[in-house]
């Protein structure tokens, strides 16, 4: 016997995974996590018995429901399903999976569409972060076709504009959770920062690396990864995150001067494997570090002039542009962060899990 759970399989930005209605999953968090592990095929290095793609970018889940909060349309819970462990982490945000929450809501009738665009206000429950997401809906229907291109995804799609409203300190409580723009761990200067995603920014040269190494080369660099983990474990409590040994945050980002016309070159670990690109909120946070006087990015980043800056963050498979609006009265205060993503519905149907994990009835939520 197996239990069928409705879902849409969608790409959001450079990530993908199943999107569920909150009302279709168990209300109990522990049971819900066991359901998600079974759906994704974890723990298993290949995730051969589930929907997971054996990579952190393709072992993600979105849980979506209508919001009862005034002025908020949707609520989204992001779940990072670990591959080799029977564990689900709902600590971090994920701006890539967020990109497909609006399209999912329109596909499932959680919200109505305007013409030619629809803007939805979405609350990310993981951290309480709010954003306005603008979708292309000609004739009142979601479209995935368009001319927007993002590195890491082939072809072009309809643009999805994300305007983050409250990102500073969304996980750690403060933009600079240690209270300093620069810290030092194991003799290595770092900037610990959270503008939507807790990140430890480190100059690659301070670890004896160029910052231009390939993803595979960095993943095979055991000595580097051990040093990064030592810094991460020490920085966790200083960033108000406590013991991070079993958490996927903070992310670790190596930076180097740009070499493809951007503002900064990055290599990001999430947290132990090098990212093939860069996460949405990770890019926002690194871009923010670039504009802070005294951060480790100072003298490394090549910044445009003006209070409104488009910062191109280079990564292993291209670049990611972040638009930052600075407060003229306080050049180190970011008033707005905006960016462009794309998304696509890949498949609709039901994921099957063993009835021994969940019978589909116990611990159900009220219908959305």
In angstroms, the Cα distances linking 4 to 1, 88, 122, 291 are: 10, 20, 28, 49
Mean pLDDT for 110-114 is: 97
Structure token digits, residue 242: 């406590």
**Would you mind telling me the total number of residues written for the chain in this entry?**
368
SS3 assignment, position 285:
helix
State the Cα–Cα distance between residues 176 and 192, nearest whole angstrom: 6
Mean pLDDT for 17-42 is: 98
Does residue 197 surpass a pLDDT of 90? yes
Does residue 368 surpass a pLDDT of 80? no
Predicted pLDDT at 326: 80
140 phi and psi, to 5 degrees?
80, 20
DSSP state of 116: S
Confidence of residue 253 (pLDDT cuts 50, 70, 90): very high
Predicted pLDDT at 366: 58
Predicted pLDDT at 356: 96
Mean pLDDT for 342-353 is: 98
What's 183-337's CATH class?
A: alpha beta
State the Cα–Cα distance between residues 208 and 197, nearest whole angstrom: 26
Report the run of H or E that residue 32 belongs to, with start and end: helix 29-40
pLDDT in tens, 48-106: 999 999 999 999 999 999 999 999 999 999 999 999 999 999 988 899 999 999 999 99
Long-range CB pairs of 296-299 (<8 Å, 24+ gap) are: 296/182, 296/189, 296/190, 296/191, 296/201, 296/202, 296/203, 296/206, 296/255, 297/191, 297/201, 297/255, 297/264
pLDDT in tens, 282-314: 999 999 999 999 999 999 999 988 888 999 999
| Closest C-alpha among 160, 199, 128 to residue 344 | 160
The percent of residues above 70 in pLDDT, for the chain, comes to 98
102 neighbors 133 (Cβ within 8 angstroms): yes
Predicted pLDDT at 167: 86
pLDDT in tens, 319-330: 999 999 887 777
365 neighbors 28 (Cβ within 8 angstroms): no
The partner residues of 365 in beta bridges, in order of sequence, read none
| Closest C-alpha among 136, 130, 90 to residue 116 | 136
Does residue 332 surpass a pLDDT of 90? no
At the topology level of CATH, where does 2-159+343-354 sit? Diaminopimelate Epimerase; Chain A, domain 1 (3.10.310)
Please give the distance of CA 248 from its chain centroid, rounded to a whole number. 11
Question: Beta strand 2-12 with 343-354: parallel, antiparallel or unpaired?
Answer: antiparallel
Same fold? 2-159+343-354, 183-337: yes
Predicted pLDDT at 322: 94
Predicted pLDDT at 8: 98
DSSP state of 299: T
Does residue 367 surpass a pLDDT of 60? no
Which residue in the block uniquely carries the two structure tokens 């008033």? 335
> First vs last Cα of the chain: how many Å apart?
27
57 phi and psi, to 5 degrees?
-75, -15
Predicted pLDDT at 328: 79
177 neighbors 239 (Cβ within 8 angstroms): yes
pTM over 0.85: no
Predicted pLDDT at 107: 98
Mean pLDDT for 146-157 is: 94
Q: What is the mean pLDDT of the chain?
A: 95
pLDDT in tens, 170-188: 899 999 999 999 999 999 9
Residue 279 or residue 37, greater confidence = 37
Mean pLDDT for 110-115 is: 97
Please report, for the chain, the start and end positions of each structural domain, with discontinuous segments joined by +.
2-159+343-354, 183-337
pLDDT in tens, 203-242: 999 999 999 999 999 999 999 999 999 999 999 999 999 9
State the Cα–Cα distance between residues 328 and 334, nearest whole angstrom: 10
């Amino acid at each position: 016997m197996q239990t069928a759970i409705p879902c849409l399989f969608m790409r959001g930005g450079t990530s993908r995974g199943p999107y569920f209605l909150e009302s279709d999953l168990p209300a109990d968090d522990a049971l819900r996590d066991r359901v998600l592990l079974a759906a994704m095929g974890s723990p298993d290095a290949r995730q051969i018995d589930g929907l997971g793609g054996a990579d952190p970018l393709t072992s993600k889940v979105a849980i979506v429901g209508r919001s009862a909060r005034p002025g908020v349309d949707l609520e989204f819970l992001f779940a990072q399903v670990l591959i080799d462990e029977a564990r689900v982490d709902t600590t971090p945000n994920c701006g890539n999976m967020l990109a497909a929450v609006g399209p999912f809501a329109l596909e499932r009738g959680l919200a109505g569409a305007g013409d030619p665009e629809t803007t939805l206000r979405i609350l990310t429950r993981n951290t309480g972060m709010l954003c306005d997401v603008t979708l292309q809906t000609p004739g009142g229907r979601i479209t995935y076709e368009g001319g927007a291109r993002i590195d890491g995804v082939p072809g072009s799609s309809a643009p999805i504009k994300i305007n983050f409203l409250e990102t500073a300190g969304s996980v750690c409580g403060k933009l600079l959770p240690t209270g300093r723009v620069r810290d030092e761990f194991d003799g290595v200067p770092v900037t610990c920062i959270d503008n939507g995603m807790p990140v430890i920014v480190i100059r690659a040269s301070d670890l004896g690396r160029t910052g231009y190494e390939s993803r595979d080369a960095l993943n095979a660099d055991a000595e580097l990864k051990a040093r990064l983990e030592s810094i991460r474990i020490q920085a966790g409590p200083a960033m108000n995150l406590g013991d991070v040994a079993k958490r996927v945050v903070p992310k670790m980002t190596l930076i180097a001067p740009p070499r493809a016309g951007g503002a900064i070159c990055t290599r990001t670990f999430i947290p132990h494997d090098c990212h093939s690109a860069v996460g949405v909120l990770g890019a926002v946070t690194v871009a923010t570090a670039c504009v802070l006087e005294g951060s480790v990015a100072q003298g490394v980043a090549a910044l445009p002039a003006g209070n409104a800056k488009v910062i191109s963050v280079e990564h292993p498979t291209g670049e990611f542009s972040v638009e930052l609006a600075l407060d003229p009265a306080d050049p180190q205060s970011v008033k707005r962060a905006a960016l462009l993503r794309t998304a696509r519905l890949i498949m609709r149907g039901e994921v099957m899990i063993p009835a021994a994990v969940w019978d589909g009835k116990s611990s159900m939520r009220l219908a959305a």
